[in-house]
Amino acid sequence: MNVALVQFKPRKGDVQANLASMRSIFKQLAPGEPDLIVFPEAALTGYFLEGAVYELAVEAPVMAQRIDEQWRASGATRPCDVVVGFYENVEGTFHNSAIYVRCGDESGVHVVHVHRKMFLPTYGVFDEERFLTRGRQLSVFETAFGIASILICEDAWHAIMPTVAALKGARLIIVPSASPGRGLCGTGELESNTRWKSLLSSAAAEHGIYVLYAGLVGFEGGKGMSGGTCAFSPRGDLIASAGPLDECIVKVQLDRAEVDIARATIPLLGDLSAVLPDLWLDEEIPVTRRLEERG
């Protein structure tokens, strides 16, 4: 699978301008016949919207149609899968979501999957749960590469999320993100980007999965987004990465056989599958006791 990860700088609140930028990126990528293009969280609106989220949120089919229109307008001659983070309106309930769309198909646009962010941060500069409703389900879905899952930004900071996705069969995890940059490490890299790479590498290596991360860049209200777009192999090795500031496209190739080899060499996921029933039924786990008490 040929993948393009787009490190994107949106104009805050200007959907039409951002769609035009998306179309320009599609024109650049289409001749290379990518199989999958991944944009960051809140790519077409910007992230820090607060109350404006209610004006700019759309239903998933509307978002899918907008993406498909840009792909077709780019002059592309074959279908392509696209992932885009967006604010979703579900009959008056608003979510931070990411959509996986099959574009350019002769039969029309196809919404393959929509993930609704489950962990909405309310610390530091974040106030998501004040304006949004968290998702209630982590699902996996079929792609040309195999079974995949989407985690949005902080979802991926909770180790149980990639674990559950892998246990459900995911061989690929896609992480659209809008992460403000924080601190500097001794290497000169943003501390937040170093932390991201550590988290994503660990998730990839432990579960024998590819992990793709697409980060927003630019400044919103004085807050600088950290970029750091990157990809990790099923062994946890960094395949490719981008810097923290500029718009760019990171291209990678995924090989399904690498997942099989990684899992055969270090069968941690298989071991977890075998031990998980004993862990879940352990009476010392408080959550389990509370569930039992509820009957």
- The domain covering 2-293 belongs, at the CATH homologous superfamily level, to Carbon-nitrogen hydrolase (3.60.110.10)
pLDDT value for 288: 46
Give the mean pLDDT of 72-91: 96
Q: How far is CA 59 from CA 63, 111, 285, in A?
A: 6, 11, 39
pLDDT value for 221: 76
Q: Cα separation of 123 and 135, whole Å?
A: 19
Give the mean pLDDT of 36-43: 98
Q: Cα separation of 71 and 57, whole Å?
A: 21
Which amino acid, residue 80?
A: C
290 pLDDT above the threshold of 80: no
Q: Which two tokens mark 142?
A: 């079929």
Which has more pLDDT, 223 or 3?
Answer: 3
pTM to 2 decimal places: 0.93
Q: Cα separation of 238 and 189, whole Å?
A: 15
Cβ neighbours of residue 18 under 8 Å, at least 6 residues apart?
A: 10, 11, 43, 44, 45
Confidence of residue 183 (pLDDT cuts 50, 70, 90): low
| pLDDT tens-digit series, residues 222-256 | 788 889 999 999 999 999 999 888 899 999 999 99
- The structural domains of the chain, with segments of one domain joined by +, span 2-293
DSSP annotation of 13 reads T
182 pLDDT above the threshold of 70: no
User: 251 and 4 in contact (C-beta within 8 Å)?
Assistant: yes
DSSP annotation of 10 reads P
pLDDT value for 280: 82
Bridge-based pairing of strands 248-253 and 2-7 is: antiparallel
Confidence of residue 50 (pLDDT cuts 50, 70, 90): confident
pLDDT value for 223: 82
282 pLDDT above the threshold of 80: no
Confidence of residue 94 (pLDDT cuts 50, 70, 90): very high
- Comparing 106-115, 118-127, 174-183, 203-212, which segment has the lowest mean pLDDT? 174-183
User: 179 and 217 in contact (C-beta within 8 Å)?
Assistant: no
pLDDT averaged over the chain? 92
Q: Percentage of the chain surpassing pLDDT 70? A: 94
Q: Cα separation of 126 and 47, whole Å?
A: 10
Q: Cα separation of 70 and 76, whole Å?
A: 10
pLDDT value for 123: 86
Confidence of residue 185 (pLDDT cuts 50, 70, 90): low
Which has more pLDDT, 41 or 281?
Answer: 41
| pLDDT tens-digit series, residues 117-152 | 999 999 888 889 899 999 999 999 999 999 999 999
Sequential DSSP letters for 45-114: T-S--GGGHHHH-B-HHHHHHHHHHHHHHTT--S-EEEEEEEEEEETTEEEEEEEEEEES-TT--EEEEE
167 pLDDT above the threshold of 50: yes
Q: Which two tokens mark 162?
A: 């990639």
Sequential DSSP letters for 217-249: EEEETTEEEE---EEE-TTS-EEEE--SSS-EE
Length of the chain: 295
